[in-house]
Amino acid sequence: MDMNNHLSHLLSKWYPNRDKFDWILATIYDTDGPCYRKSGAMMLFSSQGEQLGMLSGGCLESDIGTNAQKVMQTGQSMFLCYDGSDEDDLSFHLGIGCGGTVYIMLQQINAQNDYLSLINVYNAFKRRTSGYYYQRLVNQQIDKNDTPNQAYFEVEKISDLAAVATRVQRSQNNTNDNDNDWLASPIVPEPHLLVIGGGIDARPLINIARQLGWQVSLWDPRPANARKEFFSNVNYIIKGQAELLTTFALEKDVNAAVLMSHNLMIDAQALKALSTSKLQYLALLGPENRRHQVITQAKISKEESLLFKFAGPSGLDIGGTLPESIALSILSECHAVLYRKNAQSMSQIL
């Protein structure tokens, strides 16, 4: 099972093999009570036994896969319900611990049904375009020879990741079209993180960000740093002067940046280049007095003029001292800012 669960990654694995194997799309279309994943979560199953993504904490995937094989054989969509609160339900015996109910739809993906418009979704991710993916919730079995419009994608500007969370909740109330309901799932590109400084301590930060499914770019003008052999998993290694970062951040839709070059001039140059960008978060390594030095050298008259969250010192106070824990601290704060959360303990929220 693949560990990167962002839909863009799932589709990038599926797309080159879309005609080589039979494929099934599993989608959570409704939930009741506490559940591991919410409406709109998707997973892909192949006839070769490959599973891309997760719809639970690992409890249900095997049984979903068994039913996916049945859909491949019959060519008919299937609806599943796993009730974690019912001792007589299969999901209870499978060990699902959330106690909620999950409703899942299984659909074939093939040329006959236009691949459920997933190629359009895949291309939208490549262009970093947002929108909504609509799936028809058919109330009865579909005949093999009947290929109605089962899914489509519409481009729509979704301003930020926090807006997605709001729209996901509203999209659970499916719109009615004749006798069929449609599930509207927001499609938003994964966050794009720009790292300034290609030293040793940048490696765990980039590795964690990539594990989250984020795009990551790296810039360091020093020849000995940001070397490809140490950062083979980044999407872009930027070459050139700091001024290039202004255009790069705009064209590549960068959401956040971390200044960690350990060089005052390099960090200041990067801050100046990114000061007018559409970032939502920028982190600066080092103590508070270093932040003032970087701002002064970047010739930014007022810190309040920056349109993004400028964190310096950066990260959440989790007691981190090692590069790995510092990276976790910074990315946790970044994640919370991008999704407009306060990084409060879940036990205090409940």
Domain boundaries along the sequence of the chain: 7-187, 192-338
CB atoms within 10 A of CB 92: 17
The percent of residues above 70 in pLDDT, for the chain, comes to 86
Instruction: Specify the pLDDT at position 86.
Output: 59
Q: What is the Cα–Cα distance from 212 to 200, expressed in whole angstroms?
A: 20
Region 251-264 average pLDDT:
96
Strands 256-259 and 236-238: unpaired
Averaged pLDDT of the chain: 88
* pTM, entire model: 0.85
Query: What local confidence, expressed as pLDDT, does residue 10 receive?
Result: 96
**Of 139-148, 178-187, 270-279, 300-309, where does mean pLDDT reach its minimum?**
139-148
Classify residue 308 by burial, with Cβ atoms within 10 Å: 0-12, 13-18, 19+: middle
If we measure between CA atoms, which residue out of 30, 59, 56 comes closest to residue 43?
Answer: 56
Residue 1 has pLDDT above 50, yes or no: no
The pLDDT value recorded for residue 64 is 95
Topology of the domain comprising 192-338:
Rossmann fold (3.40.50)
**pLDDT(238) > 90:** yes
> What tokens were used for 40?
């709109």
Reply yes or no on whether the pLDDT at 176 is more than 70. no
Rounded Cα–Cα distance for residues 123 and 8 (Å): 9
Virtual torsion, Cα 93, 96, 100, 104, nearest 10 deg: -90
Residue bearing the bigger pLDDT, 183 or 181:
183
Give the pLDDT band of residue 11 (cuts 50, 70, 90).
very high
Task: Give the end-to-end CA distance of the chain in Å, rounded to a whole number.
Answer: 31
Mean pLDDT of 325-348: 92
What's the pLDDT band for 168 if we cut at 50, 70, 90? very low
Q: Strand, helix or coil at 233?
A: coil
pLDDT exceeds cutoff 80 at 244: yes
In angstroms, the Cα distances linking 275 to 16, 237, 281 are 39, 20, 11
Average pLDDT over residues 43-60: 92
Distance CA 33, CA 49 (A): 30
